A and B are shown apart, each in its own frame.
Chain A
Amino acid sequence: MTSQRLMYWSIRFYLVVFFIYLFTPLVIMSVATFNDSRFPTIWPWRETTWRWFGELANDGAMWEALLNSFIVGLGVLALAVPIGVSAGLFLSTYEGKAKNFYYSLMLSPLLTPGVIIGISTLIFWRNLGVSGGIGLTVIAQTTFIAAYVMLMVLARLQRFDRTLERAAYSLGATHTQVVRRVLLPYLKPAIISAAVIAFLQSFENYNTTLFVRGFDTTLTVYIATKVRTGLTPAVNALGLIMILVTVILAVAYEVLRRREQKKKDALD
């Protein structure tokens, strides 16, 4: 039994070290925001200050980049969600020889490095006279984000009871009614999750965006540029704000999910 005990404690010890490793960088980055030093650091500590938030708020380029990121994110949402839902519906309906081929093809953008998706999109659309910018960024990001949506929709469709559809038809419903009243309501949670994931994926994307952005700057591109040229703790302030927004969103999402789960458990 002692070896089991040892195992029990060593894996717990490992987990603690692991989470220290996971969170220390974020903590140091956040704390450095409040140090009054030109270069973001926690050592030596000069003076505690809020001024880097002010500098961030006065940075016009940052606001422009933020706006661009929102526009791109919404664009990707509008394009990738319908495509991903269609792909999921297609895969759950079509049975035939080519099914595996279609599935592999849909999965391939997730297994392709982001830079290559950016490069191929850039070359292809230049031949059609379209050059880099917000529009092309939406196109390039949709290429692989649609695959995430497809996977999430497909996962939910696999648990769908097709007899519900048949029941609706035998009661005289039209195709449109079945899709609108049976299928889409069932898919709603998956579509909402997929939309959130799609927006986040778009918002944080860097490797693909880098090649297709033209002269437009998204928030991640802005941060990367700042880190290499003109790094001040204002970047940390931005990072800290993004961490806080993330934590609030993650906790809210978790609370909502649990509430849904409870409702479901109560119904069962």
Chain B
Amino acid sequence: MIKQLTARFGGPMTLVVLLLLWFWLIVLVLLPQLIMIDYSFKPNLIPSQLGGPEDVYTLGNYQTLVGNDIHRTIFFKTIWSSILVTLLTLMVSYPVAYFLAQLATAKQVMLIALLLVIPYWINEILRTFSWYLILSFQGPLNALLLGMGFIDRPIRFLSGDGGVLIGMVYAYILFMVFPLYNAIESLDNNQVRAARNLGAGLIRIHWRIVIPHAKPGIATGCIMVFMLAAGSYAVPALLGSPGSRWFTQIIYNWFFEGGNWNMGAAYAFVLLILCIGFIAAIMKVFRIGLGDIGK
């Protein structure tokens, strides 16, 4: 390794490259995660108790999560809702990505890409805030539905999970469209034409040709969206209500309201395991490797 690097960059430059690299990977990426995991297996003690007889490894923090009905329910709700967000985002994004990759002219691609990117340069908080305005009790959506006679009285969109789902799909579309686009773009259009000439219908063409080809893109998009949804704090905090809390909000409360960092670390680690589990499951289902992600 060092030989290869010094041959290309010389000694001093290699030193700089390796120092920066190791600082990142060891001090910023690995050690904090390990310390967090270590923390999660220890009880919450006051400083004078540290190193004392109670300072031992325990599963207590995890037992709290398993034993607490409300937290457990919210944990599973977060999983299902995140899966739902992922599927909805995939369905909404697929036609756009397909159009961009296979049907659009070069000029249309430029224009649409620009239009797609603009809402995403504006941050997640503002995107979510704009939905908060639309969905609010006296907001324009209720006014519109009332005015058109679809409903008799305004709906409280923001008191269930519905608002959170809408906000999340909106917030994460781009993370699905671009991986899908990248994957579908490399599909040779002649394959689609050949299938059509042989009599395949629209659904069959997509199911048998486009989707199998787009597998790495679908996997990458699903992984990104699931991770963003399960780990989102902003969207549920703005569009949710006390009755529709998200797992991240419980973690936050352990840190800044409960003052129990060890418990918070345990909950955070469970969330991390969940995301790793999802990634592993997706990679198995789609039969792809980690190297295919991020391309």
Please list the residues of chain A having a beta carbon within 8 angstroms of any beta carbon in chain B.
3, 7, 11, 14-15, 18-19, 21-26, 28-29, 32, 39-43, 82-83, 86-87, 89-90, 93-96, 98, 100, 102-117, 119-125, 127, 139, 142-143, 146, 151, 165, 174-176, 179, 200, 203-207, 210-211, 220, 223-224, 227-228, 235-236, 239, 242-243, 246-247, 249-251, 254
Q: Does B233 contact A (CB under 8 A)?
A: yes
Q: Point out the residues of chain B lying under 8 angstroms from A121, CB to CB.
A: 28, 32
Between A and B, how many residue pairs show CB distances below 8 Å? 247
Q: A18-B96, A223-B125, A223-B126 are in contact. Are A105 and B140 (CB under 8 A)?
A: no
> In this complex, what residue of B is CB-closest to A44?
B143
| B268 touching A116, Cβ below 8 Å | yes
Which of these, B10, B35, B121, B140, contacts A120 with CB under 8 Å?
B35
Of the stretches B53-61, B62-70, B208-216, B224-232, the one at the interface is B224-232
Q: Point out the residues of chain B lying under 8 angstroms from A250, CB to CB.
A: 114, 117-118, 121
Q: Please count how many residues in chain B sit with their CB below 8 Å of the partner chain's CB atoms.
A: 87
Q: Point out the residues of chain B lying under 8 angstroms from A100, CB to CB.
A: 290-291
Which of these, B95, B114, B121, B140, contacts A42 with CB under 8 Å?
B140
Q: Point out the residues of chain A lying under 8 angstroms from B4, CB to CB.
A: 93-96
| A224 touching B28, Cβ below 8 Å | no
Q: Does B130 contact A (CB under 8 A)?
A: yes
| B119 touching A29, Cβ below 8 Å | no
Nearest-CB distance from A166 to chain B (Å)? 10
| B143 touching A124, Cβ below 8 Å | no
Nearest-CB distance from B9 to chain A (Å)? 6
Q: Point out the residues of chain B lying under 8 angstroms from A93, CB to CB.
A: 4-5, 8-9
User: How many angstroms between the C-alpha atoms of A39 and B139 in the bound complex?
Assistant: 10
Q: Point out the residues of chain A lying under 8 angstroms from B124, CB to CB.
A: 204, 206, 220
Nearest-CB distance from A174 to chain B (Å)? 7
Q: Point out the residues of chain A lying under 8 angstroms from B28, CB to CB.
A: 109, 121, 139, 142-143, 146
Q: A111-B275, A179-B9 are in contact. List 20 more A-B contacts (CB 8 A).
A: A7-B202, A14-B96, A26-B119, A26-B130, A28-B140, A87-B24, A96-B4, A105-B25, A105-B29, A106-B24, A107-B293, A123-B265, A143-B29, A143-B32, A175-B8, A204-B122, A220-B124, A243-B122, A250-B117, A254-B114
Q: Point out the residues of chain A lying under 8 angstroms from B195, CB to CB.
A: none
Label chain A's interface by main secondary structure.
helix
| B23 touching A119, Cβ below 8 Å | no
26 interchain pairs (CB within 8 A)?
A3-B202, A7-B202, A29-B130, A41-B136, A41-B139, A41-B140, A83-B23, A87-B20, A90-B17, A95-B4, A111-B293, A112-B272, A113-B271, A116-B33, A116-B272, A117-B32, A119-B251, A123-B32, A123-B265, A146-B24, A200-B121, A220-B123, A223-B125, A239-B126, A246-B122, A250-B114
User: How many angstroms between the C-alpha atoms of A123 and B227 in the bound complex?
Assistant: 22
| A211 touching B136, Cβ below 8 Å | no
| B129 touching A239, Cβ below 8 Å | yes
Label chain B's interface by main secondary structure.
helix
| A120 touching B36, Cβ below 8 Å | yes
| B39 touching A224, Cβ below 8 Å | no
User: How many angstroms between the C-alpha atoms of A124 and B123 in the bound complex?
Assistant: 28
| A25 touching B131, Cβ below 8 Å | yes
User: How many angstroms between the C-alpha atoms of A268 and B201 in the bound complex?
Assistant: 42
| B92 touching A115, Cβ below 8 Å | no
Nearest-CB distance from A202 to chain B (Å)? 11
| A86 touching B95, Cβ below 8 Å | no
Nearest-CB distance from B151 to chain A (Å)? 15
Q: Which residues 222-252 in B have Cβ within 8 Å of A in the complex?
A: 223, 227-228, 230-234, 237-238, 248, 251-252
